[in-house]
Amino acid sequence: MKTVDDAFEYIEPIGAGRIRGIVLHKLMGELLTGEISDSDATIVELRAAQLLEELLGQEDPNSVERPHPLEMARTAINTINLADVATLRCHLLPEIAVWS
């Protein structure tokens, strides 16, 4: 007899995609809260590099494909400045706790 779990197949993420997503998620949150400013791409790139280092730490750089901090910074800045996002930006709240 099949269960609901049988309908879903787990596929191990490969490449830098999962790590990139985690860092981009954090960058977007920090841009929305004002912790970092989208007016200086160098600052956003440095923060992306710092987050990447915190996430991967002392892990062997050759053991996992790493995303590029500059690309992640540009993606976050370009996303936050999209016309539709910019229009709603003052109303956007990054992950707020609703259970505490």
Tell me, yes or no, whether 71 lies in a domain: yes
Tell me, yes or no, whether 4 lies in a domain: no
Query: Considering its fold, how many domains does the chain have in total?
Result: 1
Tell me, yes or no, whether 29 lies in a domain: yes
Q: How confident is the model over 19-76, as pLDDT tens digits?
A: 899 999 999 999 999 999 999 999 999 999 999 999 888 676 676 788 999 999 999 9
| DSSP helix/strand/coil, 64 | coil
User: Residue 95 half-sphere exposure, CB side, CA atoms within 13 Å?
Assistant: 6
pLDDT value at position 74?
Answer: 93
Domain that holds residue 41: 15-91
Q: How far apart, in whole angstroms, are the C-alpha atoms of residue 88 and residue 30?
A: 16
Tell me, yes or no, whether 7 lies in a domain: no
**Confidence check: pLDDT of 4 > 60:** no
Tell me, yes or no, whether 57 lies in a domain: yes
Residue with tokens 């540009």: 74
**Confidence check: pLDDT of 3 > 60:** no
Tell me, yes or no, whether 6 lies in a domain: no
Tell me, yes or no, whether 3 lies in a domain: no
